[in-house]
Amino acid sequence: MKPLTLVLISAAALSAGCKPTTAGAPGGVNPPQVPEVGIYTVAPRALAVTTELPGRTAAYQVAEVRPQVGGLIQKRLFAEGGDVKAGAQLYQIDAATYQAAHNSAKAALAKARANLMAAGPKVARYKELVAIEGVSRQEYDDAVAGAEQAKAEVEAAAAAVETARINLDYTRVAAPISGRISRSNVTPGALVTAGQATAMTTVQQLDPIYVDVTQSSTDLLRLKRDMEDGSLKRGGGQARVTLVLADGSRYAQPGKLQFADVTVDPGTGNVVLRAIFPNPRHDLLPGMFVRAIVESGVDERAILVPQQGVTRNPKGEATALVLNRQGKVEQRALVTGATVGDQWLVKSGLSAGDRVIVEGVQKVQPGASALAARTPAEPAAPAPARTVAAAAGAAPGPRAAN
């Protein structure tokens, strides 16, 4: 073999011995990469705690109009479904007999007053005569009694006149309150009686309007305990209430909670709460089904977690995966409350600073390692230093021995 050929073979062998090897698992297989996950860092904040309760609207005032005297209906003086003012005439009952009774009572009063005018001077004359024994004491006493009787008759006649006047006024059936009037249950020509069971019509005041909702006594006790131990702060003034209508829209006007009933319904265990709402446009009508959102108080250290970070185990319990400080995944059992937008209100299981995994949950398991994905607001971490072996011929090396 020629010397030049031997030199080339030796150089090739030396070059092959200087190639770098791949670090990693045996056989040159790279180790599995640690997955990146999106996290949500828990930060308590003040939150107005609300309760959504079912309820129905009720008129602020309701007056069923009934006749107070009997007779034939002559006129109906209102438009059904319209607004009426208190004192406005609604019906006219035939007043002929009541007018006659009033006139008769006035005549009886005039007669009684005339009798009194005669009895008074008689007593004065008898008083002078009895002093000189011109009349007997008995005659004088009879004159005094007659005068007093005349006075009583005047008073009775005056009361009869007032009664007749009241009955005459009752033939003019008036609205007892201002509000929206319903349909009429009687027509002209119908006979009505005083105090009848069937109302002639109904007037309802709709502005403001009541909303009666029900809440379980258990929830009321829990809220009371939360207030007492300080975990829930009471807001100033009356509790604010908003309405969600049957079609899902929100009522524009906010209301205020008036009171809670003092009696628990033994059949349902619920307590009635009453709120009052302004209703200037009469959008709310009595009997409508609504859902009232009542502000129960303020939780000054509420913990909210995005809903995508909370799952359910086979038992139906709420759980969340948390990335601890060592980069390990932990599973936490949670106790959740109501939803606030797209977040769960967490009552227990998480604390301030916990990093809840909200993205990439399917990539990790409890006990596995994970990396928190860098958010756009975070600076990029420096790339780790790498050791790279020099390629053959890239730098001078020791001379190979021949």
Write out pLDDT tens, residues 10-40: 444 444 444 444 444 454 455 668 888 999 9
**92: nearest Cα among 22, 203, 189:** 189
Q: Which residues contact 83 (CB under 8 A, 6 or more apart)?
A: 178, 179, 180, 181
Q: Which two tokens stand for residue 119?
A: 């009895």
CATH-assigned architecture of domain 67-198: Beta Barrel (2.40)
pLDDT the model gives residue 285: 92
**Of the options 3.40.309.10, 2.40.420.20, 3.40.50.300, 3.20.20.70, the CATH number for the domain spanning 38-44+302-373:** 2.40.420.20
Query: Can you spell out the DSSP letters for 265-317?
Result: -TTT-EEEEEEEE--TT--S-TT-EEEEEEEEEEEEEEEEEEGGG-EE-TT--
pLDDT the model gives residue 201: 96
Task: Give CA–CA dist 301/232, Å, rounded.
Answer: 9
Decide: pTM greater than 0.75.
Answer: no
Mean pLDDT per 10-residue interval, the chain, length 402 residues:
40 43 49 84 85 91 95 95 95 96 95 87 78 80 85 94 96 95 95 94 95 84 67 62 91 88 84 91 93 82 90 90 91 87 88 92 89 55 32 36 36
Q: Which two tokens stand for residue 200?
A: 């002639």
- 385 backbone dihedrals φ, ψ, rounded to 5°: -70, 140
pLDDT the model gives residue 227: 62
Question: How does pLDDT run across 242-265, given as a tens digit for each residue?
Answer: 999 999 899 999 998 888 777 888
Task: Give CA–CA dist 64/59, Å, rounded.
Answer: 13
Cα 185 to Cα 6, 65, 81, 102, 197, distances in angstroms? 126, 10, 13, 29, 12
Segments making up each domain of the chain, as ranges:
38-44+302-373, 49-60+205-299, 67-198
Q: What is the DSSP letter of 354?
A: -
Angle between helices 137-170 and 96-131 (to 10 degrees): 160
pLDDT the model gives residue 137: 83
In CATH terms, are 38-44+302-373 and 49-60+205-299 the same topology?
no
- At residue 195, what is the residue type? G
45 HSE (CA, 13 A, CB side): 8
SS3 334: strand
pLDDT the model gives residue 238: 66
The C-alpha torsion from 48 through 53 and 57 to 61, rounded to 10°, is -70
CATH-assigned architecture of domain 49-60+205-299: Beta Barrel (2.40)
pLDDT the model gives residue 287: 93
pLDDT the model gives residue 245: 92
